[in-house]
């Protein structure tokens, strides 16, 4: 009789352990799946201030309109004599050095310049920009067509550079007909 009781007790213990293990496995799997789904959702960012609100989340990829606006602002930072923004926000260090040298030369000659972008086209991995360079010496002004090849790269978006882009390369397209 004792062996029967012992056998029954062992079977009950074994089946209860199997049930407990099954329940824990199902629970762990469900929690794992819930964890995966919650990690795929966009994070909730709360902007702190006098009145707290949920901040808008911007995607890390830039739209075509953002890229075009960035190129206009960055080329303005590269060529314009009157700065509106710090060139370090939008230009690589080598372009800042070239800009500073060019601006010193222009200032010594009493020349003021500004670039107005007319169109931007994407070609392979570079952007082709058609612009007008406005040059003024005193009250005398002239507009010169300026065709550029521009390359940009991504960086982290910030308050000072909301586009998350930086100008890495700018070169003038040589006019082969005139030999320029």
Same domain as 17, residue 87: no
CATH value at residue 110: 3.10.450.230
Alpha-helix runs per DSSP H in the chain: 2-40, 64-79, 93-109
74: left (phi over 0), alpha (psi -120 to 50) or beta: alpha
Q: Is residue 103, in this structure, part of any structural domain at all? A: yes
Q: Is residue 112, in this structure, part of any structural domain at all? A: yes
pLDDT digits (tens, 9 = 90+) for 26-75: 999 999 999 998 888 877 666 666 665 555 555 567 788 888 888 999 89
According to the model, what pLDDT value does residue 149 have?
A: 92
Same domain as 153, residue 71: yes
Report the DSSP beta bridge partners of residue 127: 122, 150
Same domain as 86, residue 124: yes
Same domain as 162, residue 91: yes
Same domain as 85, residue 16: no
Tally of domains within the chain: 2
Q: What's the domain range around 25?
A: 2-41
Same domain as 146, residue 102: yes
Q: Is residue 58, in this structure, part of any structural domain at all? A: no
Same domain as 92, residue 166: yes
Mean pLDDT, range 137-161, rounded to an integer: 87
Same domain as 69, residue 31: no
pLDDT digits (tens, 9 = 90+) for 67-81: 888 899 989 889 888
């Amino acid at each position: 009789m004792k062996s029967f009781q012992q056998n029954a007790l062992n079977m009950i213990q074994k089946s209860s352990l199997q049930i407990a293990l099954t329940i824990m496995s199902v629970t762990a799997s469900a929690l794992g799946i819930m964890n995966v789904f919650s990690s795929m959702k966009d994070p909730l960012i709360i902007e702190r201030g006098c009145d707290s609100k949920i901040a808008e989340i911007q995607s890390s990829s830039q739209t075509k309109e953002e890229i075009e606006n960035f190129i206009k602002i960055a080329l303005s930072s590269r060529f314009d004599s009157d700065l509106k923004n710090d060139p370090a926000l939008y230009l690589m260090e080598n372009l800042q050095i070239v800009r500073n040298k060019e601006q010193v030369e222009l200032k010594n000659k009493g020349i003021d310049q500004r670039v107005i972008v007319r169109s931007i086209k994407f070609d392979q991995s570079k952007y082709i920009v058609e612009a007008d360079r406005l040059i003024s010496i005193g009250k005398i002004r002239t507009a010169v067509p300026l065709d550029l090849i521009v390359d940009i790269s991504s960086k982290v978006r910030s308050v000072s550079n909301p586009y998350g882009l930086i100008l890495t390369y700018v070169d003038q397209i040589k006019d082969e007909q005139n030999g320029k």
